[in-house]
Structure 1
Amino acid sequence: MTLSPQEAEGLLGELCRFARAATGCVALANRVVEAALLALLENRPRASDPAARLHLFRAVQDELAALPSQKGGGDAFAGLAARLLAEASAPPRSPDAAGRFAHAWLARRLERLSPLRRTVLLLYHMMRFSAAEIACIVRRDVATVEAMLRATWRELAPPRQAEILIIEDETLIALDLSMLMRDLGHRVRGIAADRAEAEALLQQGVPDLILSDLRLGLLRDEGRRIVAALGDETSVPVVYVTACPEDALEGAEPGRPVYVVPKPFCSFRLSLAVCDALATAGQRNGGLN
């Protein structure tokens, strides 16, 4: 039995789609697929063999693995991000602000994955291969592929709704921050303009995240001092929104990420920083993800 023209066209389309997602370049993807098909000519799989599709994808993956680097494509990440969000167990948020920022954040996290981890996700979520089939394609054992999928899913899990404390003495900026956080689906515990107000709000318990300016009134580093008063036992993430971003990096705790968004702040950039901070905290203590 041989493949019909329609079956051959569909399989070739799948191979090209996978290669484009892995390389981010149509021309390079086409060359990869062509090289893989040529390499199979010496030991071609039977068209009627159920493993024929696996052989073809493995040949393409072998060519991809031989490339100097694989950065992937933004469009491919966007498509994979949309699929991952659709399959996430977390309830959907607003299709506007929250959905847009969650989608962009996840696409950016996908860019940071190693080529192999990204390939495994592409094969599982976009090409619909099983873990055992992926193991054959990437030449790893099944346990390794399953462990890789679990670890990557944890890393990419979108942050859930959080309670946020805002420390900002400029009223309009504070209100802008509050509205943005609510648009993202978070709860705002309150806005503190000084140490006394912040301490009163902190008596209700430690929030999931703090948005803080560094300078409050004439006190240059007051925001950081308020945060430091929480003590070393807490791992609450902090995003500094400040006109002096370089000051936020001075004296930072070694090994702990520092999230800084300069004023005047970009809503999109701030939203991504909040997502990053919550995700990192969730991975560290299992609190939000």
Structure 2
Amino acid sequence: MSQQELSSAIGEALPYLRRYARSLTGNQTSGDNYAAATLEAVLSDRSTVDQCSDPKTGLFAVFHGIWVTTGAPAEIDPEGPDAKAQERLAKLTAGSREALLLHTVEGFDFARVGEIMEVGADEAQHLVEIARREMADAVSGRVLIIEDEAIIAMDLESIVTDLGHRVTGVARTREGARKLAGSDVPDLILSDIQLADNSSGVDAVNDILGELGSRPVIFITAFPERLLTGERAEPAFLIAKPYSEDQVRSAVSQAMFFSSTETLRA
């Protein structure tokens, strides 16, 4: 593959690497710093990418090599919510969370998850199974769903409830979301981008965060690449439509680990 072809392939994969990195760190800035370090590593030595089955897998493999040598996002406040999240994450089996995200959210099959993590496909599958069990038992909380399509809202509510969380309500509009959040404060917000009254789910979330303070948010959109440009404040957790149940379950479990509230049990 020529340098130009590689650059094009890397460019197409970069938004998804950002999403993965942000999901691991729970933070846009930390995630993007890891993505930038990955690009620098590829520019200086493309051998890892060339050895993998395709450029996207190779890009994630380079990232994984950097990630496993650092262990945690830098500059964590020992008294802040990120430190509490890292305490919870430290209790998980090594590599399980990464395998879960790579498979369920990023869509890599077990063989490519194995390539990225330098394990066999069977081991990659085993790590995913472990992660599902451990994360399901680790944290529970309250979830506000902002979604104007009734069938999708019902589906999301079912998935969230099945994970052991309590749904505080389902809002179809920006104003409805603000009122629901004020009456029953959520630990996590799961929001569509476009709402019933043509208002924005992003604006609804910003209203809530402005009133209640920081808490994890998962956005659902048919065009995730439009929210992963690095040009403005962007979500750490993002699901593409059409989504799978596994994607929602994984994203919710990840986001709950980074909750800034004190209401979660760990």
Shorter-chain TM range is 0.3 to 0.5
1 or 2 for the larger relative contact order (CA 8 Å, sep ≥6)?
2
TM-score of the pair, normalised by structure 2: 0.46
